[in-house]
Chains A and B, each alone.
Chain A
Amino acid sequence: MTSKRPWWGTLLMYVALAAFLFFLGFPLLWLLSASFKSTSELNSLAVNLIPADWDFSNYTTALERQNLITAAGNSLLVSIATMVITVLLSMPMAYALARLKGRLRAAGTVWILTSQVFPSILIIIPLFLVLRSINLNDTLFGLILVYVTFTLPFTLWMLQGYVAAIPTELEEAGEMDGASRVTILRTIILPLLAPGLVATAMFTFVSAWNEFFLALVLLQSPELYTLPIALRSFLGAEGQTQLGPLAAGAILATIPSLIIFSILQKKLTGGMLAGAVKG
């Protein structure tokens, strides 16, 4: 028995949604607007979303300076590699964490939670020394390893929640049909886990894409700088900011993220388990 929502209720819902969307999207809109404004307009007190004169020079400045293209390539490489390795590693680990019983599981959980409490600044010097001893400081591969180390505990925690939500009855049904553990994982768990994997992948990608401090300290060669490092070079000493090129650079920096998200978000569908088990 469902009651039909009145028309004004629907209207109100859409208005609220539109307002929320505007609230979320406004900073990006403002950034886009700033990226097309001239320096004099950015330095004026005028508050206008549409630039008075469209100025494209910020984009050319951003691209010409600071090796933004190279930095974007480095960021993309590091973020995708971090995402893939983290997801591949955390999938079987999350399954084990969610399904295993006993002390090992409890110890694993404690380890995950404990590893989350250390701020990166606390361990940056030991980390630097370890990487140096294995010749991996100032390399993208070293940075990827560090990112995987930092994101793995949280993604593991996240993913095991998704695994726990999958009814064990489905696995039992597979066993009844004679499927091996690997077959069950591949044909039953993995498809149902897809939305969780996508969410985890997104989280990992964004974490690596936006990370600044570790990249700043671990990378010393300018040709290896990632985007956040390259973008920060538009901020000078004494609070000087080249706002136009910085906004243009930031817009360019969001494009790969948007593409990745638009590809992945289709997979991020809930309700896949609806009706999988009859209540």
Chain B
Amino acid sequence: MNSIRGIGAIAFAGVAVLALSGCTQGSANNGSGEGEGGAVTLQFQSLSDQPATQAAVKSIVDEWNADNADIQVEIIQAGWDGAFDKLITQFTGGTAPDIIHFEASSIVSFAADGYLADLTDLVDEDLKSDISEGIWESVTQEDQIIAYPSTLQSYMAFANADLLEAAGVEIPTGDTMTWDELQEIAKATTTGDTYGLGWGLASPTATVMSLALGFDGGFFSGEGADASIEVGENELAVPERIHEMAYTDKSIQPTSLTQSGSDVLASFYGGKVAMTVQGSFQATNIANDAPEGFNWVALPPLEGSEGAVQAANPQTYSVNVDSEYVEESAEFLNFFMSGDNLAQIAYADALIPSSESARTEVEKLAADNPAWTQVLASGEGLVGPPFLKVEKYTEWKDTIATPAFQQYLADQITSEELAAQLSDGWADIAG
């Protein structure tokens, strides 16, 4: 009988809690709109997750709000995880915020579905000329600018200088480093229990698609739903090179191929791998987290047959086409993207800013961190890749390309089979 009383008590508590929950609701319609005195409030959904970046975003928004009483901006903090699902639901349900933070490759489908405002005539002219054509290309769909490109990452090699020295290898100091050099250094630094390279390729597609541009491996041609794929020698150059290093040279730590980039850092700090290829943003993490006395360097940008070219897949700020305040949103984003502001955000996130003036500003901010020189240098070769024009790229990447690359890098299929899987898979998806 006591147990019944206990359950009864919990039931009562639950009903009380439920009654209370009715009093603690967020507004179901807390969207943008006109506040007191005709002031406009814009909803700005930010995905910035690093405390320093959140602080930078808040400080910029506070500054804007202080100077613009008639256009106020409200930050809605969200996270990267599940952001696509959240946004597609918001767009479909008509509750998307005015300003949307995301990334270029993921907003293509939103643009195709007509959810994003055309910003072509709203982007500040000075800002337009401050950002390279290649990067603008990455956020242009059917001749419409659908987002402001903010920060980017490149892939670069970091090295344990002591291990390179111990192997008698000279640390590359040129403007770029060829793949042959990387391969030779990896071979030279591979000894009994140390591998030359640790490369976190658990999700290999983004890395391969980006670095393939250095060999003119574009994979796709055409736009939208009509894009076609070609997987030839240029497209296979990067995966074949990695495969050769892993299985012929045996200079890549095998387990690293199944890990994320961040996972590999432990092996790098522990001296188990002499080099690691990472997103450029890791420069700051390595500077903060590496053991005391760890002697590391950022190597020059990787150069393929076509140069040190990589894919620009920037983080983006778009405006909801259904927003009543598209122009005001663009006005705020022009301010948000100014050189000083973008530099603050890029530096906090350890990413490369899209604009020239912001890069100059970051150089000053990062004067005491030599790795940033290489990080910023690697940003010079970023161009809008063909896959950003492809409507169903994300679907192909997740369902076809990633498993195919994983199988190839696990030495389970040949490069011919890889090419066939990538091509046939696209044919299935594109219909």
A binding-site residues for B, Cβ under 8 Å: 39-40, 43-45, 65, 77-78, 80-81, 83-85, 87-88, 121, 124-125, 128-129, 132, 135-142, 144, 190-191, 194, 197-198, 201, 212-213, 216-217, 219-224, 229, 232-233, 235-241, 263, 267
Contact = CB atoms under 8 A, between A and B. Distances in A.
Given A125-B93, A129-B92, A237 B21 contact: no
Interface string B189-204: 0000000000010010
Contacts of A191: 1, 3-4
A231 B383 CA distance: 35
Contacts of A83: 10, 14
Contact of A45 (B21, B25, B270): B270
A222 B76 contact: yes
B86 interface: yes
B85 interface: yes
A43 B271 CA distance: 12
Contact of B20 (A77, A194, A223): A77
Given A40-B291, A84-B11, A213 B82 contact: yes
B406 to A, nearest CB: 15
B35 interface: no
Nearest to A129: B93
B81 A235 contact: yes
A240 to B, nearest CB: 6
A267 B3 contact: yes
Interface residues of B, number: 64
A10 B27 CA distance: 60
Contacts of A198: 3, 7
A235 B79 CA distance: 8
Contacts of B37: none
A132 B18 contact: no
A238 B279 contact: yes
Interface stretch (B43-51, B366-374, B413-421): B43-51
B350 to A, nearest CB: 10
Contact of B80 (A39, A44, A237): A237
B49 A236 contact: yes
Interface in B25-73: 25-30, 47, 49-51
Interface stretch (B120-128, B258-266, B324-332, B423-431): B258-266
B267 interface: yes
Contacts of A137: 28, 93, 95
A222 B89 CA distance: 17
A118 B279 CA distance: 38
Contacts of B269: 43-45
A39 B93 CA distance: 41
30 contacts: A43-B265, A43-B266, A44-B270, A45-B267, A45-B269, A80-B10, A80-B14, A81-B18, A84-B10, A84-B11, A84-B18, A88-B11, A124-B85, A129-B92, A138-B25, A138-B26, A138-B95, A140-B25, A141-B21, A198-B3, A216-B81, A219-B26, A220-B26, A232-B79, A233-B79, A236-B49, A237-B80, A238-B281, A239-B260, A267-B3
